[in-house]
Amino acid sequence: MLELMELAGKENSNNGNFQLWQQHNHPIALTTPQITHQKLDYLHLNPVASGFVEKPEDWLYSSAKDYYTGKKGMLDIILIEPLIVTV
């Protein structure tokens, strides 16, 4: 296992010696309410897509309960403004 981490570390110029996990992050600026809500929905849907829960609000450590049901979840959060779509 150590050999694999060392090989991965040498292949990535961001590392000194070893790499334990993949480094594939692409920061996205939350410049509009639409982008912010899209990313929030993505975060809420991750446990559903992974098959851990059936509904986003069922994930224990998620703010989805606050957003989707209006009930207080386990975490203290500051809700962002709801997205109002005009046609």
Long-range contacts of 70-76 (CB under 8 A, 24+ apart): none
* Residue 39 covered by a domain: yes
* Residue 47 covered by a domain: yes
* Residue 62 covered by a domain: yes
Domain housing 48: 30-87
> Considering its fold, how many domains does the chain have in total?
1
* Residue 18 covered by a domain: no
Structure tokens at 9: 């570390």
pLDDT in tens, 9-41: 777 777 777 776 666 667 788 898 889 989 999
* Residue 17 covered by a domain: no
Structure pTM? 0.65
* Residue 74 covered by a domain: yes
Q: Are 24 and 38 in contact (CB under 8 A)?
A: no
* Residue 16 covered by a domain: no
pLDDT band at 87 (very low <50, low <70, confident <90, very high): low
The mean per-residue pLDDT over the stretch 46-69 comes to 94
Q: Are 47 and 53 in contact (CB under 8 A)?
A: yes
* Residue 25 covered by a domain: no
